[in-house]
A and B are shown apart, each in its own frame.
Chain A
């Protein structure tokens, strides 16, 4: 148990043992939402009645036949660009203010099929890019560790809701770091799976060839349990991969003795020097892995700016294509920051796009070659702690590269794991990445690091203090 809210794995064990019910757990989460959501804004929609009905059904099913899996009766929520049948799905945009889909997205359906409890739809940047925005129909999410600070985005509500204990896990989406950035700044774990492993069907596009759906939760183990439910081929997603889905949780306790860890040192020392706290987290992780029996080596890699440049032109062109008609018809319905991103698309030529795709092929080949000699690579999750939310630059990430985009460009799985706290008391994180479809090794490496460090023992003090009062 962590504070008043267990991890998914802990809750599943207790539900299976009969010492906790889905309804009790759901009510505990709803009470936290009622107390703290007005100041955090993690949700666009709280589906309270649906949650209670799901929980009651789960309890009846479990009583009759036992849990059908570790997500049975577990309160989860979805980023609000993921379609949900009969439930408002806004993409945080005035364009979608009354949009109620007729069908669940594939990932939403998979979590429902696993018996989870749907708690609601979570705050995002508009159409998953460009925030924080204060000119949308709903406010941006606040960081539960300090309400004046940014969550990162675009899966901002998922990061905040998991950190605050409103839910035990949630789905985010990641086109340039939108799962891993909020995970890093909100002090939780966020996994971007390999491109094509999780169906995008029913999820609003951000950039077709870079979009990923993945789990965000308190631990790597919880991410493994969620990934298990949503991974697999789906003919409704034209980019879906036909790959076997291994048991992601079974190998977690295998440890990292003999594992090879490659450090992408130039990225955090030269290309975008990180804060002392982030740098200390990386060095401590290296020591932890060596102490656990892993071999750690430095790797030579191309500048992070090359990966980000390729990703920027591909994402900007694909986003522009996806939303061109809406932009030309009703530009005033977009918030300023998303409209900016669509204007940028006009600066991208066809030549830029093709050159970026060619560069992407070479960068992917480079990263595959690096990973041929190691099992995982290690870099930063974010360069520093969360900024005050009103100080996030309008042209954020244009003048400086971010640490997450490279693995959208290469399609490889990557995870952010908390690695300590900065001088302002805000979380910082490391990032690990692995070979395509090797989420099992990635999760094992992340889990071993978590178990060797104390960072999963602490929840946001603001929330815990109020919960105890």
Chain B
């Protein structure tokens, strides 16, 4: 799992890279939901079966072939 962002400064840099130019106050506000999101991300990790692959199926039409 990606490393957790620990400080407001790092959070500001992270959001800036994503295109969000936020004030320090706005950055600080997002620390609470970020904590919930990190907790939810932990649930995604674990052993999965081969059949869990998000299989891509090409939707060729008859005329494409």
Contacts and interface: CB of A to CB of B under 8 A. Distances in A.
Given A309-B40, A343-B30, A346-B15, A359 B52 contact: yes
Contacts of B40: 305, 308-309, 312-313, 398
B54 A354 contact: yes
Contacts of A362: 48-49, 52
B37 A347 contact: yes
A196 B26 CA distance: 39
Contact of A352 (B41, B46, B52, B53): B41
Nearest to A324: B19
Interface in A297-352: 305-306, 308-310, 312-313, 327-328, 331, 340, 343-344, 346-349, 351-352
A287 interface: no
B19 A395 contact: no
28 contacts: A305-B43, A306-B43, A310-B44, A312-B37, A313-B40, A313-B44, A331-B20, A340-B30, A340-B33, A343-B15, A346-B14, A346-B20, A347-B37, A348-B37, A352-B41, A355-B45, A356-B44, A358-B48, A359-B43, A359-B46, A359-B52, A360-B54, A361-B48, A361-B51, A361-B52, A362-B48, A395-B32, A398-B36
B63 interface: no
Contacts of B49: 362
A395 B59 CA distance: 38
Given A328-B19, A346-B20, A358-B52, A352 B33 contact: no
A102 interface: no
A31 interface: no
A355 B41 CA distance: 9
Contacts of A306: 43
A312 B43 CA distance: 11
A346 B51 contact: no
A347 B33 CA distance: 10
A399 B2 CA distance: 21
Nearest to A363: B52
Contacts of B19: 327-328, 346
A344 B48 contact: no
Chain B: number of interface residues, binned into ranges: 20 to 34
Interface in A429-450: none
Nearest to B17: A346
A313 B41 contact: yes
Given A355-B45, A362-B48, A399 B54 contact: no
Contact of B59 (A238, A308, A356, A360): A238
B65 interface: no
Given A238-B59, A344-B37, A351-B2, A365 B44 contact: no
Interface in B1-41: 1-2, 14-15, 18-20, 30, 32-34, 36-37, 40-41
A361 B54 contact: yes
A309 B52 contact: no
A355 B46 CA distance: 9
Nearest to B21: A331
Interface of A: 238, 305-306, 308-310, 312-313, 327-328, 331, 340, 343-344, 346-349, 351-352, 354-362, 365, 395, 398-399
Contacts of A365: 51
A347 B34 contact: yes
Contacts of B48: 358-359, 361-362
A101 B22 CA distance: 34
**Most A CB atoms within 10 A — which of B15, B53, B54?**
B54
Give the top 4 A-B pairs by smallest Cβ distance, nearest first.
A346-B18, A357-B54, A355-B44, A309-B43
A349 B41 CA distance: 10
Contacts of B37: 312, 344, 347-348, 398
**Most A CB atoms within 10 A — which of B20, B43, B46?**
B43
A116 to B, nearest CB: 32
A343 B43 contact: no
Contacts of B53: 358, 361
B20 A349 contact: no
Contacts of B33: 340, 344, 395, 398
A341 to B, nearest CB: 10
A139 B40 CA distance: 32
Given A346-B20, A357-B54, 8 more contacts: A305-B40, A312-B37, A343-B30, A352-B41, A359-B52, A395-B32, A395-B36, A399-B36
Nearest to B11: A347
A259 to B, nearest CB: 30
A48 B25 CA distance: 46
A232 to B, nearest CB: 18
A9 B47 CA distance: 50
Nearest to A329: B19
A343 B26 CA distance: 11
A359 B18 CA distance: 26
